[in-house]
Amino acid sequence: MYFFGKDLPPLKIHKRFPKYRLSLPLTLLAAVLLAGAITLLALWCQPNALRTVLAHLKAQPLLIVLNAMPIGLLLLVCTCLFRNVFWGAALVNLAVCGLSIANRIKIEVRDEPVFPRDLGLLKEVGSAMGSYDIHFPIKVIAVVVLVTFLLLVLGVFVGCRPFPVEKLRGWLGSLLGAAASLGVLAALILTVYASNDLYNSFRVSNAYYIPSVFNELGFPYCFCHQFTTYPIDRPEGFSKAEAAAWETGGQAGQGKPVHVIMVMNEAFSDITDGPAFAFDESNDPLSSLHALQNDPHALSGHIVVPGFAGGTANTEFDVLTGMQTNALSAATTSAFRVVNRDLDSLFRVFGGDGYHTSFFHPGDDWFYNRENVYRWFGAEETVFADEMESLQYKGRWVTDDYMADFIEGKFEEALAQGQPLFNYTTTIQNHMSYTPDKYGEGYDFPDVPLTAAVTEQVEILLKVYVEGVRDADAMLGRLRDYFAAQEEPVVLVFFGDHLPYLGDNQLGYRELGMTEDRAWDALTSYETPYVIWANDAAAETLDWESAVKALDLPENDPISAAFLGAAVLELTGRAGESPWFDFLNELRRTAPVVQKNACLLPDAGLCFLDELEKDSRGQSLLESLPKWRKWSYYKLRYKEVA
């Protein structure tokens, strides 16, 4: 066996079967062909049809090179080490296709692709394997194993001739060749594959839906791109000392003694209030929300969340920390991926006031690394699906009704312990996909009355999605009724994490006529409803009318999700406890919404940041935004939380 090394001692099998040896040019040609074949096999392992991927690659040929190049370089690495192109291909095929199959399973189970960082999360992988009824693609696995075996066998009968340079025929040459190939791969990952401009230049059906991006651009390319994702950009002019000085001041214990329950409901929206829908009082899927919007002890509106049709954890991050996912870095798409230290959050403010603080989520603790992130946020108690008893499912997701019951039970536990409660709950029932089998075969979905003509595909999506909205609204109504009967003062905050995914290229929204709004791309596509309601005891404790008036919330305009938590702190009398959240409340009064390159100024409507230099009303915002970014960076990188 030859390539970069010398001839190895012959195996006994060679005495019976002749071994054909490829020349160096033929070895390189074989490496190219094998890399292409492995690339195709890895793409075939994905959950979508191979022809769909090939159609995207054909339309954007550079993707062919970007998907095959890392596989080819890995193949050269292994060829140098094993001194056999087919044995090298066997190992690369097993590794690459194994990752591709893992990506397929993870997308099907959790609607999230495999990232490079997952390679170091063995505990999380074990948790996922034990927590789900995983349907392994046996056919696909069998094909990958068979191809690997055939390559191994082929390597027994087909070898490589010695490298032409005699000094490079030993192990030194093999190691140098492997190192050179690996070095080129590393350099490409840090340059070409790290390029966000290149990554974003490719056409995809929905850039915000990462599994779809992986499917359309190709798993090998996207996986390599993810090696350099989730950085935190250092703001221009950042000074650690300057940011540290902003942290001075603040005194705990000033808040009013009210329990605070925050529920972020999966994909909760009020799109059914749009003109394309014809619901009336008899079949209103949002009857509880609408009733609360007219309650004298409630205030409501919309928040502008970080992402469209996905990014649940990003909304959690924005609401709880007051930082903005979209401002951390030009490349950041998942804020929880960048958290690795203690941070200021609502949990710490309420905890400093003697509250019992908790986070509930009927999913796995490993997803988005929530188990660690909420510990870094300062939550005293975290409860995930594996610690919840007698889980109730509707389809494959835990029901909103179960979570309402769980919140009520935990509230009573807090009362028994004599502690005020701050809780943040993230639900999961109305998670996509909105397919007819979401709640089991044969489930009868009520019709959705429409004034617009839509395709059958969109009609099905809407029926399934609206069924989840009804259940979410029922959860809101149940919690309202439960806390209304309590003598303890309770403030309930209920809101959505993002709009639902209704087909590729915003298909459902286009057919409903929603994308025709000028503000759709910049603002409306990120809006979800919120309602903050106080029971009678809390309204009296807070002096509700005065407290709401002092908030200066815009009546008809939304606010950024990053301002919602700060507003709750001020509403409950906690102005002056945290310099950070006090700053956010003042910034909210300057610009209720800051969303990427767009913003809303009071009485000025939608503006873009590059227009503010020409508008005197935007000067204050232009001064505050850099401070917001620098302060966020300081917290993420340097601040030591007591």
Mean pLDDT by 10-residue block, N- to C-terminus, for the chain (642 residues)?
A: 45 57 87 93 87 86 93 92 90 93 79 70 48 74 95 88 62 83 94 90 77 86 87 92 93 93 98 96 97 96 94 96 93 79 96 97 86 93 96 96 98 95 98 93 94 96 98 98 98 98 93 90 93 98 97 89 98 97 96 88 78 69 90 95 82
Domain match, 253 and 335 both: yes
Domain match, 256 and 185 both: no
Domain match, 459 and 538 both: yes
- What is the H or E stretch that residue 214 is in? helix 210-217
- Whether residue 482 contacts residue 410, with contact meaning beta carbons closer than 8 Å, is answered with no
Domain match, 113 and 133 both: yes
- Whether residue 360 contacts residue 425, with contact meaning beta carbons closer than 8 Å, is answered with yes
Q: How far apart are CA 529 and CA 511, in angstroms?
A: 22
3-state secondary structure at position 368: helix
Domain match, 191 and 275 both: no
Residues, the chain, total? 642
Among 588, 556, 555, smallest CA distance to 569 is for: 588
4 found inside a domain: no
- For residue 612, give its domain range: 240-637
Domain match, 555 and 456 both: yes
Domain match, 251 and 213 both: no
First to last CA, the chain: 62
642 found inside a domain: no
What residue spans of 521-612 are helical by DSSP H?
Answer: 536-542, 544-551, 561-571, 579-590
Backbone angles phi, psi at 588, to 5 degrees: -60, -35
- Residue 440 sits in a domain of what CATH number? 3.40.720.10
Domain match, 575 and 459 both: yes
What is the pLDDT at residue 482? Answer: 98
3-state secondary structure at position 380: coil
| Dihedral angle sign, alpha carbons of residues 146, 150, 153, 155 | negative
299 found inside a domain: yes
pTM, rounded to two decimals: 0.72
Domain match, 334 and 359 both: yes
Q: How far apart are CA 191 and CA 196, in angstroms?
A: 10
Which H, E and C letters describe 24-71, residue by residue?
HHHHHHHHHHHHHHHHHHHHHCCCCCHHHHHHHHHHCCHHHHHHHHHH
What is the pLDDT at residue 1? Answer: 39
Domain match, 132 and 102 both: yes
Number of structural domains the chain divides into? 2
**Whole-number Cα distances in Å, 637 to 16, 115, 320, 347:** 65, 23, 18, 19
What is the pLDDT at residue 5? Answer: 44
Which amino acid does the sequence have at 14? H
- Whether residue 237 contacts residue 630, with contact meaning beta carbons closer than 8 Å, is answered with yes
Domain match, 219 and 267 both: no
Domain match, 442 and 391 both: yes
Residue with tokens 């791969």: 185
3 found inside a domain: no
What is the pLDDT at residue 10? Answer: 47
What is the pLDDT at residue 423? Answer: 98
